[in-house]
Amino acid sequence: MTEQRRVVYETLMAQADHPTAVEIFMRAKPKMPTISLATVYNCLETLVDCRLIRHVHHDRESARYCANLAEHAHLYCYGCGSVTDLPVRNGRKPEDAWQVPGEVIISQRDVSFRGLCAGCAEKQSAETKDLHQKSTKKSKA
């Protein structure tokens, strides 16, 4: 592995927040001031080809990258735009969840969920409670 690839890989490993190439570039720059965005893109492509990292695509957003190679699904939060890893339950095989005919050959599996992350869900339920309290106060007055 080249020095640049190592820095890109370590930058991605440092935070499990599925950054875009530009975000990785911004984070890698202080560690390696000579690195360019084009180099980051090249390194990411090579790392994907070597299956050390994965592409994460969502709608028309720019590609994000994931260094978690364990089987997992992605939760896309429509509140804050974050992407969270959802691991498979202990001892469960992801194949068990879907009925895949024997003749089918699967080369890639991308399982995704949309919703609210824990932080946004908490915020929303607090706001709902707040609204509820306000409306009950109003009706009493």
Please compute Rg for the chain using Cα positions: 20
Max CA pair span of the chain: 70
Residues 103-122, mask of contacts with Zn ion (x by CB under 5 A): --------------x--x--
Q: Which residue, 42 or 68, is less far from Zn ion as judged by CB?
A: 68
Cα separation values, 94 from 71, 87, 110, Å: 8, 10, 11
Q: Which residue, 36 or 124, is less far from Zn ion as judged by CB?
A: 124
Residues 29-58, mask of contacts with Zn ion (x by CB under 5 A): ------------------------------
- Cα 18 from Cα 100, distance rounded (Å): 29
What residue ranges bind Zn ion (CB under 5 A)?
66, 68, 77, 79-80, 82, 85, 117, 120
